[in-house]
Structure 1
Amino acid sequence: MRQPGSSFDSTAHKRPSRGLSAARLGAVSLAASLLLVTACGGSDDDGSDAAAGTPTDTTSVLGPLDKATGTPVRIGLISDDKGPVSDLAIETAVAKATVTYINEHKGGIAGHPIELVVCKAFADPAVGTDCANQMVEEDVTAVLVGSSSVPEAIWEPLHGAHMPVLLAYAAGAPTRDTESTFAMADTTYVLQALLQLAKSEGAKKVTAVAIDVPATRIAWTQLAPAQFKAANIELEFIPIPPGTADMTPQMQPVANGDADIVHVVGNDAFCIAAFKGLQTGGYTGTVLSHPNCLSDRTRSAVSGDFLEGMVLPGLVPIGHDNPSTRLYEAVVAAYGKDIDTHRVAGLNMFSQVTAFELGADGVTGEVTQQAIITAFKTMPEKDLPGATGLKFRCNGKAVPATPAICTRGWLMTTLDGEGQPTGYKPVGVTPIEG
């Protein structure tokens, strides 16, 4: 039986009207903003305030038509949507637009159009589990899980049913599965970026200020301590409940302390409060921000003096013009409605859905669960969509200790005086062996 509050729908996508204004058909200069990256969302809207764009030739960016005409393949999407921790409604909007693009221009999967089956978990473990059970009952062919705060609650029933699953991020047990689980990244890639920065700067102490949700607690209480101890770097973890508007009391001791680097992870509202608290306390050391922290709202609320020089790791180059971001902008302009391309959650979902299509590209004949699993495990190394400079391969060798992870390395940038990225550099990227 479905849990009260869960939301479930099945949508077979038809090609929408192309009667869009020239402004909506144009390319937008992206700005840094969100992603889970461990699980938390960004702005409080679902993509209203979409940026106006300007590429003039959207058709050439999208490529020629290659319509899928076979029997639809039902693919599940589980997203937190608007939950108590984050607003990730943009994920479903972007996923629907991207699926329409794949069906219209990429031939779907083995010639079969994708029919997206959506369930909203609302960042609630019980509802997330219910969504997973519904996907099993609906007998979908595979499930995509967005940047959820409750990934393991979603994953366990799917794994028990041997369902192929592509997670946006994973930690713990899902990362070790060699059967049917694939993940775009380990939630701890930001932790690795922080540890590398601390080593390069000769830091003796790092303080992590994190939104208090299950995914961050796993990262900072179970995974991080041993790694920082091995590097002889003191680690302080400060969990703060979601919705804390004034963090001055918590940040004053941090600012007055001896932390060489402060890492902040949460959605933009959470991070704004943390940044303001650090600034009020007079903190002048290095700040490494989670990608979720940065949005236009952050830039408006926090002074450029504090944002300048802030270090930002990520998996997608939000705020940086490149072929992948131009394709994303063209897709949402052509097939979406009121999608704010300034939010990293949207670009992350675009990257995940297009990566799923690339991973399933080896399927021939009937599109079954096992055919999807086999295609992913035998795929060659490919460029990670939406993430210029990164590659992915799901053969279990990208990160051998966590064989479900498909991506090796991350992107790194620093912010300028307006809180904008100054350019992304791939870090830790080497070929993923066959």
Structure 2
Amino acid sequence: MRAGLTQRRVRAVVPAVLAAVALTLSACSSGASGDNASDADITKALGTPNKATGSPVLLGLISDGKGTSIDQSAEIKGAQAAIGYANDYLGGINGHAIQLKVCETQNSPSQATDCANQMVSAKVSAVVAGTLAEADQVISVLGAAKIPAFFSQAASKAGLSTPGIFSMTNALNYFSTPAAYAKQQGFGRATMVVIDVPGASGPAQQIGSLLFGKANVAYNVVPIPPGTADMTPQIQAAEANSPKMYMLLGDATFCSSAIKALRTLGVQSTILASETCVNSDASASIPGGYDGVKVVASLEFNSEDAEFKTFKAALSRYGDGTAPASIPGIGYAVALGLVRALNAAKVTDTSPAGLQAAVQSAPPVPYPLNGGATFQCNGKAVSLSPNICSANGIIADAAQDGTLSNYQVVQAGDLLTTGG
């Protein structure tokens, strides 16, 4: 394959940045309202009841959960809300009631292996997961046992190449979406300001250079150490390249400093930031807050959208009243996305092999909370890897406090190919 080297390069450097993203997503602003809805509103949002009455199908959920340094436990509530909603309103999986076995890795490699072994012992038909920090340990066990796993993102070498392992969203979103947007807007030059840790600055250089190069956008990377309060010198030096767009990748504290520097210098270029940059608490420290910043997001939270209203209602009824936000959204979307694909395929064989075959044969279906964009796990969504089910990304406008609106789906499929 002419682009085999390109494919190996991308596979080799992605996993660490996804782990870093998983650790910082809890800081991102959902732009969603957490106000309480009446029971009548909840019932209306959930739709017409269609209760599953058939024999149960056991699915597994593996989540980082609550560890010593992060708390992703709301992801579990989101997945449980999706399953409760599916069982009562979508007929489960083609009439079969869904049961969910949950295990938390707590960011421990040994616990991740144990969780995967628990799923094998329980004889689950499939596993769903978000963006696990220790994904490869899970993939190793489930791949050997031929139990399909459906991640929000799993872009390690194992995640991209192991049969039966799927990334249901665009695993390269933080690089492909900005590159596609720059191409769409006709920006000839772009600069990525990235927190200088191996899991971010390395991929920004290698993956970013590849994808922006394919978009025919001149690309420069400015790695800045964590804790740098004043980034004015680095931004001033970057201005020598006259970039039309700055992409920020880091946590909220890092990106706040970057935005302050850009505004101090009066930079007029478009500012694009990863959703991990955006935190309502941090907005007060930025002159003007996030107003005018565009955000690369993985989910869409539009309070007027029927999809969001269903999500919010499902959390109220089946997710212990968890407030709608990014972390529960990830668990909800990946679990409900799997159910949608299986029902679209009219699955009858609920064994692991049967569920995998059904998902691979399913037509395109809307991915939950993704602006109506579809996913399809037939191996053709992204030629870079048959395990990636979508090339979509989302860009939204941020208000001063970080609330997001005006979501736009961005297609990056032409950049995510193995061709040169």
Shift of 1:298: 3.5
Paired residue for 2:350?
367
Shift of 1:310: 0.8
Q: Does 1:75 align with 2:53?
A: no
Q: Does 1:196 align with 2:177?
A: no
Alignment of 1:269-418 (within 5 A): 271-272=255-256, 275=259, 285-303=269-287, 305-341=288-324, 343-361=325-343, 362=345, 364-418=347-401
Shift of 1:321: 2.5
Whole-angstrom CA distance in 2 between matches of 1:118 and 1:248: 41
The 8 Å contact of residues 51 and 88 in structure 2, kept in 1 or not, is answered as yes
Q: Does 1:234 align with 2:215?
A: no
The 8 Å contact of residues 249 and 276 in structure 2, kept in 1 or not, is answered as yes
Distance 1:232 1:294, change over 3 A: closer
Stretches of structure 1 lacking an aligned partner (at least 5 in a row): 1-34
Q: Does 1:95 align with 2:76?
A: no
Shift of 1:299: 3.3
Shift of 1:237: 5.1
The 8 Å contact of residues 168 and 390 in structure 2, kept in 1 or not, is answered as yes
Q: Which amino acid aligns with 1:134?
A: Q
Q: Which amino acid aligns with 2:71?
A: D
Shift of 1:111: 2.4
Shift of 1:419: 3.2
Paired residue for 1:248?
229
Shift of 1:44: 6.7
Q: Which amino acid aligns with 1:257?
A: A
Distance 1:148 1:395, change over 3 A: same
Structure 1 stretch displaced more, 121-130 or 388-397: 121-130
Q: Which amino acid aligns with 1:209?
A: V
Structure 1 stretch displaced more, 382-391 or 414-423: 414-423
The 8 Å contact of residues 169 and 388 in structure 2, kept in 1 or not, is answered as yes
Q: Which amino acid aligns with 1:296?
A: S
Distance 1:422 1:338, change over 3 A: closer
The 8 Å contact of residues 393 and 410 in structure 2, kept in 1 or not, is answered as yes
* Structure with more of its chain in helix, by fraction: 2
The 8 Å contact of residues 256 and 283 in structure 1, kept in 2 or not, is answered as no
Distance 1:286 1:153, change over 3 A: farther
Aligned length: 386
Whole-angstrom CA distance in 2 between matches of 1:213 and 1:115: 39
Report sequence identity in percent: 25
Alignment of 1:44-123 (within 5 A): 51-54=34-37, 56-83=40-67, 86-123=70-107
Q: Does 1:423 align with 2:406?
A: yes
Shift of 1:388: 2.2
Q: Which amino acid aligns with 2:235?
A: A
Whole-angstrom CA distance in 1 between matches of 2:223 and 2:302: 29
Shift of 1:400: 2.2
Q: Which amino acid aligns with 2:45?
A: V
Distance 1:289 1:153, change over 3 A: farther
Shift of 1:62: 0.9
SS in 1 for 2:406: coil
TM-score (normalised: structure 2): 0.80
Shift of 1:334: 1.5
The 8 Å contact of residues 72 and 327 in structure 2, kept in 1 or not, is answered as yes
Whole-angstrom CA distance in 2 between matches of 1:175 and 1:83: 23
The 8 Å contact of residues 174 and 296 in structure 2, kept in 1 or not, is answered as yes
Q: Which amino acid aligns with 1:87?
A: D
Shift of 1:51: 1.6
The 8 Å contact of residues 268 and 294 in structure 1, kept in 2 or not, is answered as yes
The 8 Å contact of residues 27 and 252 in structure 2, kept in 1 or not, is answered as no
Structure 1 stretch displaced more, 375-384 or 73-82: 73-82
Distance 1:172 1:115, change over 3 A: same
The 8 Å contact of residues 295 and 395 in structure 2, kept in 1 or not, is answered as yes
Whole-angstrom CA distance in 1 between matches of 2:203 and 2:152: 16
Q: Does 1:219 align with 2:199?
A: no
Structure 1 stretch displaced more, 283-292 or 367-376: 283-292
